[in-house]
Amino acid sequence: MLFFGLKSASAVTHYSIPEEMEEGSVVANLATDLGLDVKTLSKRKIRLDTLSNKKYLDINKETGELFISERIDREHVCNTKSATTCILKLDATIENPVRMFNIELEILDINDNAPHFRRDTMHLDISESTAAGERFSLNNAVDPDIGVNSIKTYYLSDSDHFSIEIQTSRDGSKFTDLILKKTLDREKQAVHNLILTAVDGGVPARSGTASIIVRVLDTNDNAPQFDKDSYNINIMENSPIGSLVVKLNATDEDEGSNSEIRYSYSLYTSEKTQETFSLNEDNGEIRVKEMINYEDFRIYDMEIVATDKGVNSLSGKCKVRILITDMNDNHPEISIKSFTSPVKEDITVGTVIAVVSVSDKDSGENGQIDVHIFNKLPFKLRESSDNYYELVVSEPLDREKVPEYDITFTVTDRGTPPLSDNETMTLELLDVNDNVPQFSQSFYTIQVKENNAPGELLSSITAHDPDLHENQYLVYFIIEREIVNTSMSMLFSINPENGNLYALKAFDYEIEKEFLFHIEARDSGVPPLSSNVTVHIIIMDQNDNTPLIVSPWRAHGSVVEEKIPRSTDKGTLIAKVIAIDTDSVHNSRITYQFLQNTDVTLFSLDQYNGEIRTMRMFSYRDSRHQRLVVIAKDNGEPSLSATVTIKLSTVETALKTYADMTEIPEYDIFSDLNLYLVIGLGSVSFLLLITILVTIVLKCQKPKPSKAGPPCRNSVISERNSTIADSTLVSNDAYWYSLFLAETRKGKLVVRQPVPKGSRYIVSSIPRSTGLTETSDSAASTLQVGEYI
């Protein structure tokens, strides 16, 4: 380490050291320089006192060396820039004896400090209108070092517009001025950033920098300019009020109030445009002010002026064209030009009944219209000219199926989404007489109980005509037909207005069982139409006829007296009760019962055929006289009946029968049972008298033995001198007719046979299933009456 020790005549020890020496560095051997014994330094308590607060130096008591105890900064210790030397004064004190030594330590300057500016950044505001050559003072830099280590010069970064000039003051300080070499243009460069560098004269040289920010002050030398000279804007019609159309942007390269812009319409902008669109004067936004309708205006032209707020304001212009885009906002319209209603239902196919026109205020596809009607209607549309259509009948009409049509015309445009409208008209059809009356049934069967009251309502036979008014007013009448010289109008009557059918007389099932005739319904149209229906009247039988007992024959009252052999075998046919009933099959079904039987063990009665037979042979204990009362009841409700009393007497004598009679049948078959019933009932009174006379004559006659064959055990002797073999019975005409009816109902064929050598006749009842010549026991019983000469 280098240092200089100097001793002056005043006993002041002087040392010189450079600043910033490291701690522990030895300045000098103070003991040696002061002539002190190194060994006694500690004992004599040598110490170093400083005149400042800090103890920069200290003495090593072992070696006597003066060393650096703390780094020394000359600029800190000697803080005056004017001082050319920096001396640190010390006092060294030693005891035994006490002595004091004055020490001066000169601190030598080294270039340990770089130049620096009091402000790192310097701001300058220079108007762009400032002329070239103008000077601007700058803050100078400072350097704590002195001499050659202080500031030597300044440098300015490269700039086309600025330079510096260095000047030296009387105290040797250097400062600079900033000189404007070239006029400024704020719009090209609003701020200039410069670097000023101060360099000292040390070795090596140190430097410090400061930033110079030159802000160019604006002058209103630029007019506002829009981004484009003209704008073409497309917006949809019906855009919401307040929606943004366009935001215009005009720029002014100036700043401050010179660049603040206000937007406005020029005088060339129409009032309609200004009423439709609003212009924000601050930000240039053009917005929808009122509803836009493409159909009213399609193009809006405007001129916008942008003006700055400078003292001498400048302005710029642009043109804006707003094109309205059509949207499908108008419904197509339909107008009915002509319409014919009502029309007759028989209108000819192809007839025009309506003419319509369609329109749409929109354009393009939005204004193209399609017209249609419901495809299931009997009509079609036919285009007659542009936007005109005819509605024509495409199928035959039928008022009875559809009395009127609601025809809806639907018009739809081709926009997206499509809009539509419709118009409905009602077509009424007038009736024509094109439907015949229709009966609800094709055949009416009406059941009427016999003995009905004349004038009784039988049924209501009505027809329906789907036509209207006079075409549906129906009149009913019976189509005339004669039955047995009797007109139907004599038997039945029909109300011409409502079709109620009445009986004009009381019917008798036994005489008239059914009627078949036609009823016609005719409308009142022109020409009238009609239809008829068949009516079948069935007379229902009532149990109004009492059974008539025709066998055995009763001449006086209701008692029949018969004689039978006492030797009659078991099962022998004693008598056969036959009753007839002129009612219907159901009501005329006859059953037989005993009301009184003297001995219930002796006789039996078949309830269906009326045969009375012996159940056993007679015994000596049996009474000679037997009394049988038989009732014949029909099957009606309530049941009607008739009775016959048979008195039987047993005799010991056996009689012979007439069994070999010639059977040459003479057929007399009736095809119309009703006719014979009428004849029989009509002549019953007359025949009854003849029957009584014949019976009296028979009782007066005595029987003669038969020569035709041996006596038969099953023969019965009659007091009328008649012989009954099985079911053989004597009959006159009336009796035969009654028997014919009864036997015919049982399915048997009844014939009359002549009796040989006699004036009487025989009635034979023969089953239909047997031949006429059968003579066996299984054949039908034959009623025979013989008169012997």
pLDDT tens figures, 710-748? 333 333 333 333 333 333 333 334 344 444 444 444 444
According to DSSP, residue 765 is labeled E
Residue (of 329, 541, 555, 561) closest to 452 by Cα position: 541
pLDDT tens figures, 542-592? 888 888 888 887 765 568 888 888 888 898 998 899 988 888 778 888 999
Q: Which one has a higher pLDDT value, 435 or 689?
A: 435
User: What pLDDT, on a 0 to 100 scale, did the predictor assign at position 685?
Assistant: 73
Bin 426: left if φ > 0, else alpha if -120 < ψ < 50, else beta. beta
Q: Which one has a higher pLDDT value, 672 or 238?
A: 238
Cα 781 to Cα 766: distance, rounded to the nearest angstrom: 7
Would you say 695 and 555 are in contact if contact means Cβ atoms under 8 Å apart? yes
Half-sphere exposure of 673 (CA within 13 A, CB side): 15
pLDDT at 83 over 70: no
Cα 166 to Cα 691: distance, rounded to the nearest angstrom: 191
Residue (of 67, 16, 60, 10) closest to 36 by Cα position: 60
Radius of gyration of the chain measured on its C-alpha atoms: 80
User: What pLDDT, on a 0 to 100 scale, did the predictor assign at position 318?
Assistant: 95
pLDDT tens figures, 617-666? 888 888 888 888 999 998 888 888 888 888 888 888 644 433 333 333 43
Question: Average pLDDT in the 65-70 region?
Answer: 86
According to DSSP, residue 666 is labeled B
Three-state DSSP at 55 gives coil
Residue 52: which pLDDT band, with cuts at 50, 70 and 90? low
Would you say 579 and 590 are in contact if contact means Cβ atoms under 8 Å apart? yes
Q: Which two tokens stand for residue 421?
A: 């409208």
Cα 277 to Cα 261: distance, rounded to the nearest angstrom: 20
Helix or strand run (H / E) with residue 333: strand 333-339
User: What pLDDT, on a 0 to 100 scale, did the predictor assign at position 76?
Assistant: 78
% of the chain exceeding 90 in pLDDT: 30
Question: Average pLDDT in the 102-127 region?
Answer: 86
User: What pLDDT, on a 0 to 100 scale, did the predictor assign at position 676?
Assistant: 55
Angle at 738 between CA 733 and CA 742, to 5 degrees: 145
Which CA distances in Å does 82 have to 107, 169, 201, 301, 479? Answer: 15, 14, 18, 80, 163
User: What pLDDT, on a 0 to 100 scale, did the predictor assign at position 116?
Assistant: 85
User: What pLDDT, on a 0 to 100 scale, did the predictor assign at position 50?
Assistant: 65
pLDDT at 472 over 70: yes
Cα 307 to Cα 260: distance, rounded to the nearest angstrom: 8
User: What pLDDT, on a 0 to 100 scale, did the predictor assign at position 768?
Assistant: 36
Which CA distances in Å does 248 have to 223, 268, 279, 290, 302? Answer: 16, 18, 10, 20, 12
Q: Which two tokens stand for residue 578?
A: 């036959």
User: What pLDDT, on a 0 to 100 scale, did the predictor assign at position 727?
Assistant: 34
Q: In what order do the strands lie in the sheet with 603-605?
A: 573-576, 611-614, 603-605
pLDDT at 281 over 80: yes
- Bridge partner list, 537: 446, 515
Stretch among 402-411, 480-489, 756-765 having the lowest mean pLDDT: 756-765
Write b or e for each residue in 273-302: b if 16 or more Cβ atoms lie within 10 A of its Cβ, otherwise e: beebbbbeeeebebbbbeebbbeeeeebeb
| Residue 369: burial class (beta carbons within 10 Å; 0-12, 13-18, 19+) | buried
* Mean of the per-residue pLDDT values of the chain: 80
Most confident of 184-188, 468-472, 493-497: 493-497
β-bridge pairing 591-597 and 603-605 = unpaired
User: What pLDDT, on a 0 to 100 scale, did the predictor assign at position 51?
Assistant: 57
Distance of CA 678 to the CA centre of its chain: 76
User: What pLDDT, on a 0 to 100 scale, did the predictor assign at position 82?
Assistant: 53
Half-sphere exposure of 669 (CA within 13 A, CB side): 8
Question: Average pLDDT in the 89-110 region?
Answer: 84
% of the chain exceeding 70 in pLDDT: 81
Three-state DSSP at 543 gives coil
Cα 504 to Cα 493: distance, rounded to the nearest angstrom: 7
Q: In what order do the strands lie in the sheet with 191-200?
A: 121-127, 207-217, 191-200, 151-156
What are the structural domains of the chain?
A: 12-108 (2.60.40.60), 116-217 (2.60.40.60), 225-325 (2.60.40.60), 333-430 (2.60.40.60), 438-540 (2.60.40.60), 548-651 (2.60.40.60)
User: What pLDDT, on a 0 to 100 scale, did the predictor assign at position 329?
Assistant: 80
Residue 777: which pLDDT band, with cuts at 50, 70 and 90? very low
Cα 47 to Cα 64: distance, rounded to the nearest angstrom: 10
pLDDT at 334 over 50: yes
User: What pLDDT, on a 0 to 100 scale, did the predictor assign at position 521?
Assistant: 94
Residue 756: which pLDDT band, with cuts at 50, 70 and 90? very low
User: What pLDDT, on a 0 to 100 scale, did the predictor assign at position 557?
Assistant: 58
- Bridge partner list, 750: 765
End-to-end Cα separation, the chain, in angstroms: 215
Cα 245 to Cα 236: distance, rounded to the nearest angstrom: 10
Q: Count CB atoms within 10 A of the CB of residue 10.
A: 6
pLDDT at 307 over 80: yes
User: What pLDDT, on a 0 to 100 scale, did the predictor assign at position 674?
Assistant: 57
Stretch among 235-244, 673-682, 708-717 having the lowest mean pLDDT: 708-717
pLDDT at 185 over 90: no
User: What pLDDT, on a 0 to 100 scale, did the predictor assign at position 665?
Assistant: 40
Cα 397 to Cα 328: distance, rounded to the nearest angstrom: 39
Query: How many separate helices (H) and strands (E) can be counted in the chain?
Result: 7, 59
pLDDT at 509 over 80: yes
Cα 373 to Cα 407: distance, rounded to the nearest angstrom: 7
pLDDT tens figures, 369-422? 889 888 789 999 998 888 899 999 999 999 988 999 999 999 998 888 888 899
Residue 331: which pLDDT band, with cuts at 50, 70 and 90? confident
Stretch among 222-226, 272-276, 600-604, 746-750 having the lowest mean pLDDT: 746-750
Three-state DSSP at 693 gives helix
Q: Count CB atoms within 10 A of the CB of residue 310.
A: 20
Write b or e for each residue in 385-398: b if 16 or more Cβ atoms lie within 10 A of its Cβ, otherwise e: eeeebbbebeeebe
Bin 682: left if φ > 0, else alpha if -120 < ψ < 50, else beta. alpha
Max Cα-Cα span within the chain = 236
Question: Average pLDDT in the 233-247 region?
Answer: 92
pTM of the model: 0.42
Cα 632 to Cα 714: distance, rounded to the nearest angstrom: 25
pLDDT at 197 over 80: yes
User: What pLDDT, on a 0 to 100 scale, did the predictor assign at position 541?
Assistant: 85
Q: Which one has a higher pLDDT value, 664 or 64?
A: 64
Cα 582 to Cα 510: distance, rounded to the nearest angstrom: 7
ω before 224 within 30° of 0 (cis)? no
Q: Which residues contact 781 (CB under 8 A, 6 or more apart)?
A: 576, 725, 726, 727, 728, 765
User: What pLDDT, on a 0 to 100 scale, did the predictor assign at position 701?
Assistant: 61
Question: Average pLDDT in the 447-465 region?
Answer: 92
User: What pLDDT, on a 0 to 100 scale, did the predictor assign at position 391?
Assistant: 93
pLDDT at 319 over 90: yes
Q: Which two tokens stand for residue 643?
A: 């009775």
User: What pLDDT, on a 0 to 100 scale, did the predictor assign at position 495?
Assistant: 94
Q: Which one has a higher pLDDT value, 639 or 3?
A: 639
pLDDT tens figures, 212-235? 999 988 888 889 999 999 999 999
Stretch among 46-55, 265-274, 455-464 having the lowest mean pLDDT: 46-55
User: What pLDDT, on a 0 to 100 scale, did the predictor assign at position 741?
Assistant: 45
User: What pLDDT, on a 0 to 100 scale, did the predictor assign at position 390?
Assistant: 92
User: What pLDDT, on a 0 to 100 scale, did the predictor assign at position 668?
Assistant: 41
Cα 386 to Cα 384: distance, rounded to the nearest angstrom: 7
The one-letter amino acid code at 206 reads R
User: What pLDDT, on a 0 to 100 scale, did the predictor assign at position 643?
Assistant: 87
pLDDT at 698 over 90: no
User: What pLDDT, on a 0 to 100 scale, did the predictor assign at position 586?
Assistant: 81
Bin 688: left if φ > 0, else alpha if -120 < ψ < 50, else beta. alpha
User: What pLDDT, on a 0 to 100 scale, did the predictor assign at position 24?
Assistant: 83
Three-state DSSP at 471 gives helix
Q: Which two tokens stand for residue 173?
A: 């300080």
User: What pLDDT, on a 0 to 100 scale, did the predictor assign at position 671?
Assistant: 41
pLDDT at 7 over 50: no
Angle at 444 between CA 439 and CA 446, to 5 degrees: 140
Residue 776: which pLDDT band, with cuts at 50, 70 and 90? very low
User: What pLDDT, on a 0 to 100 scale, did the predictor assign at position 559?
Assistant: 83
Angle at 636 between CA 635 and CA 638, to 5 degrees: 125
Q: Which two tokens stand for residue 400?
A: 């009875």
Residue 25: which pLDDT band, with cuts at 50, 70 and 90? confident
User: What pLDDT, on a 0 to 100 scale, did the predictor assign at position 747?
Assistant: 44
Residue (of 332, 333, 412) closest to 373 by Cα position: 412
Most confident of 75-79, 518-522, 668-672, 708-712: 518-522
Cα 356 to Cα 339: distance, rounded to the nearest angstrom: 9
